[in-house]
Amino acid sequence: MSEASQAAANKPPAPPWALDVRVIAQTAGVDPERGLSAREARRRLQRYGPNRLHHRARRSVLAVLLAQFKSIIILLLAVAALLAFAFGDNVEGTAVLAVIFLNAMLGFGMELRALRSMDALRLLGSVEATVLRDGEAQKISAAKVVPGDVLLVEAGDRITTDMRLFEANRLKADESTLTGESLPASKHCAAVPEAAPLAERSCLLYKGTHVTRGSGAGIAVATGMNTELGRISALVAEAPDETTPLERRLSGLGARLTWLSFAIVLALVPLGLAAGRGLVEVVKLAVVLAVASVPEGLPIVATIALARGMRRMAQRNVLIERLAAVETLGATTCIFSDKTGTLTENCMRVESILLEQGEVLLPPDRSIFELEGQPLEAEPQSTLRRLLEVGVLCSNASLHHGHADEQAVGDPLEIALLVAADRAGITEADLDGVWPEVREEAFDPSTRMMATLHRSAEGIRVAVKGAPEAVLAVCERVATPSGARDLDDAARDAWLERCQEAAREGQRLLTAAEKLVSHSDEPAYAGLTLLGIFAMRDPPRVGVRDALQACRAAGIRVAMATGDLAETAAHIAKQVGLCENPSAWTVQGSQLDADPLEGEALGAVLRAQIVARCSPEHKLRLVQLHQQHGEVVAMIGDGVNDAPALKRADIGVALGRRGTQVAREASDMVLRDDSFAGIILAIEQGRIIFDNIRNFVVYLLATNASEILLVAGATLCGLPLPLYPLQILYLNLLADVFPALALGLGDGRPDVLSRPPRPRLEPVLTRSHWRSIAAWSALLSLSVLACFATALLLGWGPQRAASVAFVALAIGQVLHVFNLRRPGAPLLVNAITTNRWIWAALAVCGLLILLAVYLPGLASVLKVVEPGAEGWGLIAIGACLPLLLGQLYLWYRSPAAKRLA
C-alpha cells in the first residue's frame, strides 16, 4: 500500500456536517423514505442505550443528614461526650449530644428543603419525538430514539438528538442555549466545511435546541451523551466539586481549635496535679475546659444564620442549594455573566420605526407610539398602520391570542413585529379575514427578502420585508403623510444613512414595503413602495444597569463571556453600562487557547470585561485562570454552554425560568425570576452573614476563653475551683448560644455594599480578632476572679463564692455583647442595640440565670446556692465592670476621641 493510500486509510472519518446526506444514510443503514424497522430500532436501542444524558446524581436524604456531622467541631464535641459518659457524667454527656443533634437537625431541615426546591425546577413530563418507522410517522418517547432514526420536525418542536438534515423548508432553530446567539439559525441540507464552528453547521440540528420556524427531516447521527449537549454535560461531570470559602475558613478554624483543646488538656493536667487535686478530678476538669474552648454554639448559630439568609433570598426569588454557598457570594471578587438571556431578555423588541416623517418610538412601559414626543395613532390607511400590517401579513409567527398559557411561536424577529402591531390592535386573525394569503415567497438568503401575496377587493396586496439595502434597491416610491412620492437615489442614500446610524447603535433592522397588483403571478420584488423600517433590539434586563453599578460600588468586577461577535457584545456592554470603552476591554475566546498563557496575553485576559466568541471550554478556563490568581469567581448563566463553568466556579448561578436543566444542576444558586438584580441581594446577604458569623465567633471564643482563664488563674493562685464542670457546660450550652444567635441574625451595617470584598485567603479570624479575643477574655476573667477572691476573703465558703463567680461570669458574658459594636458607632443607636434579637436574648439569658439560682432541682444539679444581697452586689460589680471598661475603650478608638486628641 502506498504512503498516500495508507494516510487516507488512517484519516479519521469526516464529521456528519461535512458529508453528503446520501453518505450519512448509507453509513447509518437507513432509507430516508422509510426509516428504520421496528426490529432494527429495538436492536440499536440495546446497543446504544436510551437517548438520555447522565444527570448529576441528586444527594439522598441520608447523604444530606450525614453531611451535617462532617465538621471538626462536631467531632470534638462527640469525643467530649464519650469522655463524659466514660467518667460517669451522664448529664454532661447528654447535654453535649443534645447540641450535636440540634445542629444536625437544623442543617438537615434547611438543606433538604433546598434540595426539594431544586428538584421542583427540573423539567416535568416526558419529551416526545416524531420518527419514521417502517414507512410510517409515529410519536415515541425521546429516550427511545436511536442513531439512524429518521426524525420529522416542525415549528415548536424540541430537538431530541443531533440530526443531519436532508429536508429543510424555511427551517430555523433557536440554538441560543448552545451558541449564545439570540437570533435563530437558518438551516439547510447542504454540507459545510469540516472546520466550520458549531454556530455555522447549518445542516445539523442539535439536541436541546428547538425549531422556531418551518419544517424538516433528518437522520439521527448522535444520541444521549454522544450529542453536543452530552459532550458539554460530560465537561460538567469532569469539573470537580469546589468547597466554598466559608467551608474552608470554618474548617481552618476548627483545626486551630482542635490543637487548642489538646494544648489545654496537656497544660491543665500537670498544673492541677501540682495544686494537689486528684487525677480523676483534674482529667474531668481538663476535658470540660477543652470542651469550653470549642464554641459549641458555632455550628448551630452558623447554620441558623445561613438558613435565615437563605430564607430571605428565597422570598426574593433567589434559591440556594447549599447553605454555605450563601456566604460565598459575599466574598465574590469577580462575576462572569453570559449575554443572551442573562444581561439581555433573549427576546427581540421593536424599539422604534423609521418613517419618512421621522422616528416613531415604542416606549417599553406604555402601549403607545410616539413621534417627536407626541402620541401617534395608527389610523386607517396611515403609513404607520400599513407598515404594521405588512409586519403581520409577511410572517409565519403566531402570538396565540386568547391562550395565556401558550408562548409565541416563530422567528423572534417576526414575533417582535407581531407584538408591535398588537399595540395598535392589529392581529393575525383580523388581517387573515380581510386579506387571505394567496401565496408566499419564502425568505431567500440570496435576495435577503420575503414576500406574501394577499387577495383583496382592490386586487392583490404584496407585502415585503427584508434587509434594508435589499428592499430599498427594489423600491420606486416612498410613503409620506401626503401620499407616495418617487424614491430617487439621493433619498435612497439618505435612508441607507439612517440605517447605518441605527446599526451602529446595535439595532437589527427590517424594512417593510408593499404594492398593489392585479395578478398573483406578478414579480414580488419590483415596483414597491417603501413604508418604513423596524429597528429592533434584544433589550437589557430590567435592573441590570443598577445591579452593575452596585457591583462596582462593592468592588466587584463584572465581565461578559459570550459566544457572540465582539461588535454585538460591545453594543450590549455599552447599553447595560458594563464599560464605557468596550473595545479597550475586549478579548477573543481564541486567545484562551494559548498554552501556556502568560505575559501581556494573560494580563489582557485577566483585565478583560468582554470575552467574545467564547466556547464552553473557554469559559471553563476563564474561571480557572481567575481562581488561580486569587479571585473568588461567580458565574451566571442559563445555557448549556455555561454549565461546565457554572460548576467549576466558586458559586454557579443559574436562571430559573430560561435556564436549562443542565445549567441548573451545575449551579449552587438559582435566580427563579431570572432577575440579574437578585445577585446584588445575594452579595449583600452573603457579606452580612459573614460579618455576623465573625461577630459571634469572636463573642463565643472570648466568653469561652474567659472560663478557661478564670479556672487557670484560680489554680495558679492556689484557690478552689471557681466553676464546676456542669456550670461551664451550662454557660456554653445556654447562656452563650442565645446572644451569639442574636448576633448571627443581625441586619448588618448600612455600608455593607460600599466596601471591597474580603481577600480570598482571609480567615474567619484575623490576628486583630485573636488579639481582641485575648483582651476581652482577660478582662472578663480578671473581673470575675477578683469577685471570687473577694468572696473567699469575706469568708463566704467555696460553694457560695463559686456561685458568685458563676452568676457574675454569666451576666458579664451576656452584657459583653454590647462591646462588639463598631468603634465610632453611636453608643445608643448601633447595629447591636437596634437588633431586636439581642434584647430577646438578654431576656432569655436573664431568666435562665435566675432559674439556675432559684429553681431547686436545677440549682442542685449545678451546685449553685443563693448568693444573698451582698453577693448580688458583688456580682453586679464583677459583671458590669468589663462592660464599662469596654465602652471606654471603644470610645477611645472612635474618630471623635481622635479628633479631641
Which grid coordinates belong to 598? 502568560
Catalytically annotated residue among 89, 157, 174, 338: 338
Which residues pair with residue 165 across a beta bridge? 218
How many whole angstroms separate alpha carbon 573 and alpha carbon 556? Answer: 16
Cell numbers at residue 583, please? 473595545
* Nearest by Cα to 373 from 382, 364, 360: 360
Residue 617 CA, distance from chain mean position: 20
Q: How far is 329 from 327, CA to CA, in rounded Å?
A: 5
Could you tell me which residues are beta bridge partners of residue 172?
Answer: 186, 213
Strand ordering across the sheet containing 318-320: 318-320, 669-671, 651-655, 633-637, 334-337, 557-561, 610-612, 586-588
R_g over Cα of the chain: 36
Cα atoms found within 13 Å of the Cα of residue 51, Cβ hemisphere only? 31
Q: Which residues pair with 373 in a beta bridge?
A: none
In one letter, which amino acid is 659?
G
- Decide if 338 is catalytic: yes
Cα dihedral value 304, 317, 319, 244, nearest 10: -80
List, as one string, the DSSP characters of 313-368. HHHTTEEESSTTHHHHGGG--EEEE-IIIIIB-SS-EEEEEEETTEEEE--TTSS-
Sign of CA dihedral 629, 632, 636, 641: positive
Cα 548 from Cα 552, distance rounded (Å):
6
**784 with 878: CB under 8 angstroms?**
yes
- Dist CA 57 CA 533 (whole Å): 51
What is each CA distance from 900 to 854, 894, 895, in whole angstroms?
48, 10, 9
Longest dimension (CA), the chain: 121
* Amino acid present at 771: R
**What amino acid occupies position 826?**
P
Please count the other Cβ atoms lying within 10 Å of the Cβ belonging to residue 599. Answer: 9
The CA-atom distances, in angstroms, between 856 and each of 104, 708, 750, 866 are 32, 27, 46, 10
CA separation for the pair 164, 201 (Å, rounded): 10
- Residue 537's nearest CA partner among 566, 560, 508, 563 is 508
Q: What positions carry a catalytic annotation?
A: 338
